[in-house]
A = this chain, B = another copy of it.
Amino acid sequence: MNAPKISTKPPSGMRDFLPADIARRQHVIDVVRRIYGSYGFVPLETPAIENLSTLLGKYGEEGDQLLYRLLHRRDALHRGLEAGAKLVAGLPEDARGSVGEDPSREARTDVRLYESQLADQGLRYDLTVPLARVAAQYDLPKYFKRYQIQPVWRADRPGKGRFREFYQCDVDVTGTSSLVAEAEVCGAVAEVLHALGFTDFKIRVNHRQLLRAMMHHAGIDLAHEAAALVAIDKLDKIGQGGVLEELATRGIDTETANKLMLLVLTADGEQLFGFDLNQVAQGPKTPIKRVRKQITDPIGIKALDELDELFDLLAATPAGPHIQLSLDLARGLGYYTGSIFEIAVPDLAGSLGGGGRYDNLVGMFGKKQVPAVGFSLGLERILVVMEERGMFPNLSIGPDVLLCWMEGTPRAEALRVAHSLRRQGIKVEVFPEEAKLGKQLQYADAPGVKAPVAAIVGSEELKAGQVTLKHLASGTQERVALEGAGEAVRALMRQ
């Protein structure tokens, strides 16, 4: 065939996972699944494809833009093009950025109209909105504790450590406003990190209603609230000066901005940028007391009461020693209504995960109101840090044994020996082609194969019901009965 050369790379922002990658990913996923399960969470999976009506408007304007949309098929596409063209034709001339003009101009209403006509399905953007849809659709247990480990897709600009397809590992509790639910999701996530070997993480905690009260206290009006939140959320990245500058740019006067900044620093003080876990362990409740002196708004007082109680509960979970009140934490997703969380480690700019309470999201699906809280761990972020720190145990991939066969050995006999070893619990790869023994042994040690033991079958072995085992690292070799060969292989692998 004379096909033109096609690029064999995965698309930009996507990755292939070769066996060694999968071993590491599977190691983390197995731990997550085991710990989440031990907390009584049960697994859920939802389809990659959702209706756009489910996804749109849940993640903010930026999120809407990052959704992957699926092109209609033929007939629907025909109708979509037609409807898009009609919509564009109906626009006043000056609102149109018609096809053929500079694509960078502002008023590209036509493209947006076409977009809405050409697609009505998109790819999953996170695991929280699908859970909310599921909670509205099915007759679930009153307190539904679910975990979900699946990929999500965002058409973001790819960059270092930023992918367009990545896995989230979510735990959520729906159906209760009890802070026990917050404590359970934070406890589960902390225990996952412990089980993976993390000790130096902090779980930053804030509260959406406390943030509102702070805004109110500082004198920021409703119109500027969202902008101010975005600015203070960057405190750990751009520092106080940076935040004050950004607040000014966003039209907040100096006095107000300073007031807000002072309030944020009330909680964190000098430890804001530090990772001194001893200080954290003194108790995250001291900062709450300091903030109480500033906040008079009833909404704020209620939020502080909740945090107070939550921190007591968290002290009884593995999350306890890691908790830190972080008044600069805002988190971008629009659907949070109460406590919010984020996990930080010193050697990663982004977070390992985040979460919070979202009591209105299920209700957005137009049926009952169902309170909910959850936490999401980012698999890729965890893997990056574990890789850099060398935190992975020795993960075996590939076969235990490469089965080699001497010239003249019937291949069916080699397959029978392989079958017998597999029955004894050994992972066996059969060398597929006729080749000199030396070449076969060399292959056992090849990159990506790395079988620790070779099993050699020739006419003598077959006659005696035996197999020759060769430990490749030491070169030692022994002939054993095929029947007990599994044990012998295991013994060699322990060498």
| A360 cross-chain contacts in B, Cβ below 8 A | 1
| A312 cross-chain contacts in B, Cβ below 8 A | 412
| A130 cross-chain contacts in B, Cβ below 8 A | 16
Contact of A217 with B by CB under 8 A:
no
| A38 cross-chain contacts in B, Cβ below 8 A | 422, 425-428
**Which one of B40, B443, B448 contacts A399 once the chains associate, using CB atoms below 8 Å?**
B40
Binds B, one of A68-76, A242-250, A299-307, A322-330: A68-76
Complex-state Cα separation, A51 to B176, whole angstroms:
44
Q: How many copies does the complex hold?
A: 2
A385–chain B nearest beta-carbon distance, Å: 21
B39 pairs with A17, CB closer than 8 A: no
Complex-state Cα separation, A107 to B108, whole angstroms:
30
Complex-state Cα separation, A29 to B47, whole angstroms:
17
Closest to A55 in B: B6
**Which one of B1, B19, B50, B415 contacts A180 once the chains associate, using CB atoms below 8 Å?**
B415
Per-residue CB contact flags for chain A residues 174-205 toward chain B (1 = under 8 Å, else 0) read 00101111011001000100000000000000
Per-residue CB contact flags for chain A residues 102-139 toward chain B (1 = under 8 Å, else 0) read 01100010111011001101010000001001101110
B313 pairs with A415, CB closer than 8 A: yes
**Which one of B15, B26, B47, B433 contacts A11 once the chains associate, using CB atoms below 8 Å?**
B47
Contact of A479 with B by CB under 8 A:
no
Contact of A46 with B by CB under 8 A:
yes
Complex-state Cα separation, A37 to B401, whole angstroms:
12
Contact of A317 with B by CB under 8 A:
yes
A82 pairs with B69, CB closer than 8 A: no
B70 pairs with A137, CB closer than 8 A: no
**Which one of B7, B118, B414 contacts A71 once the chains associate, using CB atoms below 8 Å?**
B118
B39 pairs with A428, CB closer than 8 A: yes
| A82 cross-chain contacts in B, Cβ below 8 A | 99-100
Instruction: Identify whether the interface residues of A are mostly helix, strand, loop, or mixed.
Output: mixed
CB-CB under 8 A for A71 and B74, given A22-B43, A121-B11, A366-B4: no
| A433 cross-chain contacts in B, Cβ below 8 A | 176, 178, 180
Contact of A419 with B by CB under 8 A:
yes
B142 pairs with A3, CB closer than 8 A: no
Interface residues of A in 1-37 (CB under 8 A from B): 1, 3-11, 14-19, 21-23, 25-26, 37
**Which one of B22, B25, B45, B71 contacts A16 once the chains associate, using CB atoms below 8 Å?**
B45
| A449 cross-chain contacts in B, Cβ below 8 A | 141
Complex-state Cα separation, A111 to B397, whole angstroms:
48
Which bracket fits the contact residues of A?
35 or more
Complex-state Cα separation, A18 to B78, whole angstroms:
36
B5 pairs with A18, CB closer than 8 A: no
Most buried by B among A398, A432, A446: A432
Interface residues of A in 142-177 (CB under 8 A from B): 142-146, 151, 153, 155, 164-165, 173, 176
Contact of A296 with B by CB under 8 A:
no
A447 pairs with B141, CB closer than 8 A: yes
**Which one of B16, B142, B367 contacts A47 once the chains associate, using CB atoms below 8 Å?**
B16
A315 pairs with B432, CB closer than 8 A: no
A316 pairs with B419, CB closer than 8 A: yes
CB-CB under 8 A for A48 and B151, given A143-B432, A412-B312, A448-B140: yes
